[in-house]
Amino acid sequence: MTIPNEEAQSVRRALTGWYMANRRSLPWRKTCDPYHIWVSEIMLQQTQVNTVIAYYERFIRAFPDIRTLAEADLQGVLKLWEGLGYYSRARNFHAAAKTVMVLHDGRVPGKWDAFIDLPGVGDYIASAVQSIAFGKPVAVVDGNVKRVLARIFEISAPANQSSSYKIFKSIACDLLDRNDPGTFNQAVMELGALVCKPARPLCSECPVSPWCLAFAGGRPADFPVKIKKLPVPHHHLAVGVVFKQEKLLIVRRPETGMLGGLWEFPGGRIGPDEPAERACVRILKESTGVGTTVRAHLTRIRHAYTHFKITADVFICDWASGRVRLSGPTGHRWVTPEELPLYPMPKSNHKFMNQLMEAVQQ
Ligand code: SF4
């Protein structure tokens, strides 16, 4: 589709005017530093603004520039990312910082090709950082942008299908304000966050309602079109908190893959018809080489990841025999309960941490 020039101009003007008057005051909007803008965009990629603010401020305090980040150890970076999820973002960003130090003399590249070659940088991050920090004329496409565009232009391509990405990208490029792409991109995302919300869009307050086809047709709720996703699989796990005198066993996940590089209590999937307690002993033996006995059932937790859900039965166990010989995890430590906060751990483990501490103190 082609947007008539005059219409595109009017939409641009209305959007940026609205944005300048209504934008939220956010810490990353008070800086022109490409590194700081990069940090914020990585965090915002999968996470709500309100959650990101505190993480962003802590991260910038700890790693105020790219050199500090490049010289930090990965565990310290993951610790500051703890709870934010999608840990590959942190690992890739750390690797990208090292690359910037080596290949670009510590300066965030202002050229598209050099920037998008860095670890973890895809089209969204490259478009956001290059337009906001360097004024490059590239359009951003995220969930908010897709929703706004789908409604204004009644786009029937499913927004959650990867093959639709190029359709949204091309429309966003047509609409982009080439004189101030950074402001324009932020304006569309802000409109999606504050006005053109997923469930109840505030069309009466919307600066682009005069050009919005879905509004004119009284059917904003019909857009964006989405294809139905398959039901999310559910796994039942057993997790063992293994005590050896006053120390606890934690293991480190492989650096690549889900929750890579984080520490956790060992566990795994319970087999069909297998009692959870027996599964726990089996899994501990298979994954850590350690023989254990179960002392008590601590709790049951539930947790949802993007592509599956888990229910985990957590057991307090006692070491009974054997030395640690890992199969799966890439490292282990015997730590005191007081030392646990030093290690970056996944949210699912934090869900039973308070109960564990109470059990330890009894
Ligand atoms: S008029 Fe309504 S549906 Fe259209 S862009 Fe604005 S808020 Fe979204």
Q: Are residues 213 and 241 in the same domain?
A: no
Q: How confident is the model at residue 126 (pLDDT cuts 50, 70, 90)?
A: very high
Query: Is 41 one of the catalytic residues?
Result: yes
Q: Are residues 201 and 276 in the same domain?
A: no
Q: Mean pLDDT, to the nearest integer, of 205-228?
A: 97
Q: How confident is the model at residue 103 (pLDDT cuts 50, 70, 90)?
A: very high
User: Of the given ranges (84-88, 164-168, 181-185, 282-286), which has the lowest mean pLDDT?
Assistant: 84-88
**Residue 74 CB-density burial (10 A; 0-12 exposed, 13-18 middle, 19+ buried):** middle
**Last residue in a domain, options 159, 190, 222:** 222
CA 164/CA 57 separation, integer angstroms: 35
Q: Are residues 27 and 175 in the same domain?
A: yes
- pLDDT above 90: residue 256: no
pLDDT at 196: 98
The token pair at 310 is: 């888990």
The answer as to whether 261 is a domain residue is: yes
pLDDT at 240: 98
CA 41/CA 138 separation, integer angstroms: 15
The answer as to whether 306 is a domain residue is: yes
Ligand 1 center from residue 163 Cα (angstroms): 24
Average pLDDT value for the chain: 96
Q: How confident is the model at residue 195 (pLDDT cuts 50, 70, 90)?
A: very high
Query: Which helix H or strand E contains 65, and what residues bound it?
Result: none
Number of Cβ within a 10 Å radius of residue 116: 16
Q: Are residues 298 and 275 in the same domain?
A: yes
Q: 214 CB under 6 A from ligand 1? A: yes
- Amino acid symbol at 247: K
Q: 192 CB under 6 A from ligand 1? A: no
Q: Mean pLDDT, to the nearest integer, of 195-208?
A: 97
Name the catalytic one among 41, 82, 154, 190.
Answer: 41
The answer as to whether 22 is a domain residue is: yes
Q: Are residues 238 and 261 in the same domain?
A: yes
Domain of residue 155: give its range: 5-222
Within its chain, how far is the Cα of 255 from the centroid?
A: 17
The answer as to whether 227 is a domain residue is: no
CA 250/CA 283 separation, integer angstroms: 14
Q: Are residues 199 and 268 in the same domain?
A: no
**Last residue in a domain, options 222, 255, 282:** 222
* CATH number reported for the structural domain that contains residue 14 in this entry: 1.10.340.30
pLDDT at 261: 93
Which atom of ligand 1 lies nearest, measured to the CA of 212?
4
Indicate the top mutation candidate among 151, 154, 171, 223 to test ligand 1's pocket, ranked by most ligand atoms within 8 A of CB.
151
Q: 206 CB under 6 A from ligand 1? A: yes
pLDDT at 361: 87
pLDDT tens digit sequence for 34-93: 999 999 999 999 899 999 999 999 999 999 999 999 999 999 999 999 999 999 999 999
- Amino acid symbol at 202: L
Beta bridge mates, 302:
311
Query: Atom 8 in ligand 1: which residue has the minimum CA distance?
Result: 196
Sign of torsion, CA 22 189 45 229? positive
Q: Are residues 77 and 203 in the same domain?
A: yes
Q: 195 CB under 6 A from ligand 1? A: yes
Cis peptide before 34 (omega within 30 of 0): no
The answer as to whether 228 is a domain residue is: no
Q: Are residues 274 and 313 in the same domain?
A: yes
Q: Are residues 192 and 275 in the same domain?
A: no
Q: Are residues 32 and 107 in the same domain?
A: yes
- pLDDT above 80: residue 1: no
- pLDDT above 80: residue 32: yes
Ligand 1 center from residue 140 Cα (angstroms): 19
Q: Are residues 214 and 322 in the same domain?
A: no
The answer as to whether 94 is a domain residue is: yes
Residues composing the chain: 362
Q: 152 CB under 6 A from ligand 1? A: yes
**Last residue in a domain, options 222, 245, 277:** 222
CA 274/CA 291 separation, integer angstroms: 18
pLDDT at 2: 79
* CATH number reported for the structural domain that contains residue 239 in this entry: 3.90.79.10
Residues 6 or more apart whose CB falls under 8 angstroms from that of 50 comprise none
The answer as to whether 174 is a domain residue is: yes
Identify the three-state secondary structure at position 56. helix
The answer as to whether 288 is a domain residue is: yes
pLDDT tens digit sequence for 4-29: 888 999 999 999 999 999 999 999 99
Ligand 1 center from residue 144 Cα (angstroms): 12
Q: Are residues 172 and 291 in the same domain?
A: no
Indicate the top mutation candidate among 11, 145, 152 to test ligand 1's pocket, ranked by most ligand atoms within 8 A of CB.
152
Q: 316 CB under 6 A from ligand 1? A: no
Domain count, the chain: 2
Q: 215 CB under 6 A from ligand 1? A: yes
